[in-house]
Amino acid sequence: MAKVLCVLYDDPTGGFPTTYARDDVPHIDRYPDGQSAPTPLGADFTPGHLLGSVSGELGLRAFLESRGHTLVVTSDKEGDGSVFDRELPDSDVVISQPFWPAYLTAERIAAARNLKLAITAGIGSDHVDLDAAIAHDVAVAEVTFSNSISVAEHVVMSILALVRNYLPSHRIAREGGWNIADCVERSYDLEGMHVGTVGAGRIGQAVLRRLAPFDVKLHYTDRHRLPADIETQLGLVFHESAADMVPHCDVVTVNAPLHPETEGLFDADLLSTMKRGAYLINTARARIVDRDAVRQALESGRLAGYAGDVWYPQPAPADHPWRTMPHHGMTPHISGSTLSAQARYAAGTREILEAWLDGKPIRDEYLIVSGGALAGAGAHSYAVNEKTD
Ligand code: NDP
């Protein structure tokens, strides 16, 4: 029988919800590339309910316990004596979400003598030391595409919020004010601006498609050029590198993975080549940008705004400099954890567990590491010797 250790974020401070703002969430069968949404044999949760926090348990308890397996769920993941460290040595499976990552370092993987499978409930397994997973023959899987559109929507929201100066204007309304000039002195139309994405994969391309109707000029850079018909359809301008692209853009969005090519990419030098008053949105990984250089660029006016939801480390400390920098629209790491997305990645997590427990193959598109090597989606997107975030 397997022991499954699941690390989830804390319940709402007001207690686990008993009612929700909406009665349902749309059911998505297929993603834009044709891949089917998760198809578990069963599901013991209501789509649209909170599943990603401790009491939600990703809807897994009835399923696992009915088969005689053990499920341990905790949010306590850091520091000496954390529940995660205590429970890890005899766990067979570890599950966590990138929003509240259980950092599976080389040391922890070495200490986890029974560990055979690490599941990312969501997308992005850079919190797992993939070299160590490969060396110890730990399989790594994630629920590819489950929250890509959720993130793309957050990017579009952030761009509009920054360019339109929405957050300060909302604050003025809440606080009883009515000074229109205070609201509009930093407010512009997105129409006609040049918007570029670093990375045009699942999220980057979804952002481009969603922005096209805003009558903006679209740019991208990627390791591989998109098919010519997509470039034509969306009117895309391709650039060989981020350095080539950013001087042309009013808005830049980062949608590439963290790996040696992208770590620290947006440093003081690259930021200094951006147009004065450009906006930068990063929902990919925090360490793709230089933390202090971003703050300085906002203070100097090089950047007119910065938004995103990824920080380093996570959770971010209370004194993280991004919490108090000017003109930011940061949130905690939430873009991929809407209730809609949770229903998909909880179902995908169950699908992965069903396959693994029954000795059946896990979908190739969910695999990052298998059989002691990068596999499936991991073989395409990841490189070993990566840094974790
Ligand atoms: P994809 O793999 O579909 O797309 C990433 C794209 O970036 C690929 O086309 C890739 O090219 C390209 N790329 C890689 N390196 C570079 C580079 N140096 N310069 C330009 N482009 C590059 O991933 P997703 O779109 O699904 O996700 C992107 C990232 O977003 C994830 O890696 C993750 O870090 C983050 N994410 C954040 C979430 C959140 O909640 N905030 C949720 C989900 C993901 P190629 O394929 O040729 O390697």
Whether 222 lines ligand 1, by a CB cut-off of 6 Å, is: yes
Q: What stretch(es) of the chain map to CATH 3.40.50.720?
A: 3-147+337-375, 148-330
> In the predicted model, is pLDDT for residue 284 greater than 70?
yes
What CATH number labels 148-330? 3.40.50.720
* Integer angstrom CA distances of residue 302 from 94, 194, 247, 275: 43, 16, 12, 7
pLDDT one-digit tens code per residue, 174-193: 999 999 999 999 999 999 99
Return the CATH superfamily for domain 3-147+337-375.
NAD(P)-binding Rossmann-like Domain (3.40.50.720)
pLDDT one-digit tens code per residue, 188-217: 999 999 999 999 999 999 999 999 999 999
Whether 124 lines ligand 1, by a CB cut-off of 6 Å, is: yes
Number of neighbours of residue 137 by Cβ within 10 angstroms: 13
Burial of 238 (0-12, 13-18, 19+ CB in 10 A): middle
- E strands, the chain, are 3-7, 70-74, 93-96, 117-120, 139-142, 194-198, 217-221, 236-239, 251-254, 278-282, 303-308, 328-330, 367-370, 373-374
Ligand 1 atom closest to 221 (CA) = 20
What is the per-residue pLDDT for 388? 40
Whether 147 lines ligand 1, by a CB cut-off of 6 Å, is: yes
pLDDT band for position 363 (50/70/90)? very high
Q: Which residue has a Cα nearest atom 31 of ligand 1?
A: 257
Place of tokens 């069903």: 354
pLDDT band for position 259 (50/70/90)? confident
Percentage, residues of the chain above pLDDT 70: 99
Whether 378 lines ligand 1, by a CB cut-off of 6 Å, is: no
Cα separation, 215 vs 235, in Å, equals 10
Q: Which residue has a Cα nearest atom 36 of ligand 1?
A: 284
Cis peptide before 98 (omega within 30 of 0): no
Whether 151 lines ligand 1, by a CB cut-off of 6 Å, is: yes
Cα separation, 157 vs 146, in Å, equals 19
Whether 283 lines ligand 1, by a CB cut-off of 6 Å, is: yes
Whether 336 lines ligand 1, by a CB cut-off of 6 Å, is: yes
- The residue whose CB lies within 8 Å of the most ligand 1 atoms, and thus the one to mutate among 203, 261, 314, 340, is 203
Whether 199 lines ligand 1, by a CB cut-off of 6 Å, is: yes
pLDDT one-digit tens code per residue, 94-109: 999 999 999 999 999 9
Cα separation, 25 vs 22, in Å, equals 8
What is the per-residue pLDDT for 389? 40
> In the predicted model, is pLDDT for residue 386 greater than 50?
no
Cα separation, 316 vs 107, in Å, equals 23
What is the per-residue pLDDT for 313? 86
Query: What's the rounded mean pLDDT across residues 263-289?
Result: 98
Place of tokens 């002691």: 372
Whether 201 lines ligand 1, by a CB cut-off of 6 Å, is: yes
Ligand 1 atom closest to 123 (CA) = 43
> How many angstroms does the Cα of residue 372 sit away from the middle of ligand 1?
23
What is the per-residue pLDDT for 383? 72
Q: Which residue has a Cα nearest atom 48 of ligand 1?
A: 381
Ligand 1 atom closest to 201 (CA) = 4
* Integer angstrom CA distances of residue 184 from 163, 164, 195, 203, 324: 10, 8, 21, 30, 21
Whether 38 lines ligand 1, by a CB cut-off of 6 Å, is: no
Ligand 1 atom closest to 389 (CA) = 34
Residue 196's DSSP bridge partners are 219, 252
> In the predicted model, is pLDDT for residue 343 greater than 70?
yes
What is the per-residue pLDDT for 387? 44
> How many angstroms does the Cα of residue 201 sit away from the middle of ligand 1?
6
Query: What's the rounded mean pLDDT across residues 63-82?
Result: 96
- The residue whose CB lies within 8 Å of the most ligand 1 atoms, and thus the one to mutate among 151, 246, 288, is 151
Q: Which residue has a Cα nearest atom 42 of ligand 1?
A: 336
pTM of the predicted protein model: 0.96
> How many angstroms does the Cα of residue 260 sit away from the middle of ligand 1?
13
Whether 53 lines ligand 1, by a CB cut-off of 6 Å, is: no
pLDDT one-digit tens code per residue, 220-242: 999 999 999 999 999 999 999 99
- E strands, 236-372, are 236-239, 251-254, 278-282, 303-308, 328-330, 367-370
> How many angstroms does the Cα of residue 96 sit away from the middle of ligand 1?
19
Q: Where are the alpha helices (DSSP H) in 112-165?
A: 130-135, 148-163
Place of tokens 């951006």: 274
> How many angstroms does the Cα of residue 98 sit away from the middle of ligand 1?
14
Query: What's the rounded mean pLDDT across residues 337-362?
Result: 98
> How many angstroms does the Cα of residue 14 sit away from the middle of ligand 1?
35
